[in-house]
Amino acid sequence: MTKPAGIIAATATLFSDAEGAVDLGGLVSHCRRLLALGCDGVNLLGTTGEATSLPVARRVEVMRAVAASGLPLDRFMVGTGAASLADAAALTGEAVDLGFQGALVLPPFYYKGIDDAGLSAFFEDLIARTDRTRLRLYLYNFPQNTGIRFSTEWIRRLRDRHPDVLVGLKDSSGDIAAAKALARDLPGFAVFPSTETAVADIGSGAGAFAGVISASLNVTAPCLGDWRDAGDLAARIDKAGAIRAALSEVPLVAAVKWALADLTGEPGWRSLCPPLVPLNAGQEARLIAALAKTDYHSLRDSFTARRPN
């Protein structure tokens, strides 16, 4: 199966009611739009997708809807992490059985002070419960939210035991230097920082990234859709980076969903699953002012011209 690489959008989830039901058709259409806009792949049910706020049954429902849609599953990485080992194993097994390219797994994030022995117990059991001939596991390093930072030596040990299973890591720490060091120290291990401003560092050399997995690509994908052949890549990255910085001035998931509602004309995108809430009036005004200083409004035609069925 092809390994994911390049620009990968961490898709937002479209809800159909206040109870957290997912608009499955709308979500599938959005995933199709992201690929049409030039994204190399999609990260389904991650942080931007509010996955940890959804019950296991709903996450499975989303996976099955995407799997049945005809979308190319070899371009999808699915977030399957959970604080419960049983839940994480069930979700990961479902992703593997449905044929998704990879499973992106958070560490168990509730109890603090988890050491390497605890992490090993969790991930060894998770791998043992899943079809290892097909599992492609990506660690999700997000210490700000989980309280856990994967160490290079721990990753190396787990990878040595499961070289065909543990294939990469998404790094949402914001520490690009550390992400580059990890890519350099673990040759062949796919590292994905969480910002499109790192697109210029995608490559195959020592310390290069396999790609980027970013929430703001839901919005900025038109800036970078043909990034491999773009003669003006630096300018495109600057444009995307400025929009990302504006979105980041307020809570990012809510900002991304506000922008999707604005760009697509689909107000349902403004809904979030508690405990996340939509932007308040002050935050919305701040976001609008920040976006006005960027090329954000030039993106509108790209979204209205691609309204997938």
Which of 3, 110, 111, 140 is an active site residue? 140
CA distance 37 to 35: 5
How are strands ordered across the β-sheet holding 137-141? Answer: 190-193, 166-171, 137-141, 102-105, 76-79, 41-44, 6-10, 211-214
Of the candidates 110, 111, 138, 170, the residue annotated as catalytic is 170
Q: Please name the helix (run of DSSP H) or strand (run of DSSP E) that holds residue 124, with its range, or none.
A: helix 116-128
The reply, when asked if residue 48 is annotated as ligand binding, is: yes
227 and 5 Cβ atoms separated by less than 8 Å: no
DSSP state at residue 155: H
Torsion of CA 16, 101, 165, 211, to 10 degrees: -90
Q: How far apart are CA 39 and CA 62, in angstroms?
A: 20
Task: Give the integer Cα–Cα distance in Å for 257 and 279.
Answer: 9
110 part of the active site: no
3-state class percentages of the chain: helix first, strand second, coil last, to nearest 5: 50, 15, 40
289, amino acid identity? A
* Token pair for 153: 């030596």
Active site residue 3: no
User: Do the Cβ atoms of 244 and 216 come closer than 8 Å?
Assistant: yes
Nearby residues of 245 by Cβ (< 8 Å), 6 or more positions away: 290
List the catalytic residues: 140, 170
Q: Which residues are annotated as a binding site?
A: 48, 213
Q: Which residues are annotated as a binding site for pyruvate?
A: 48, 213
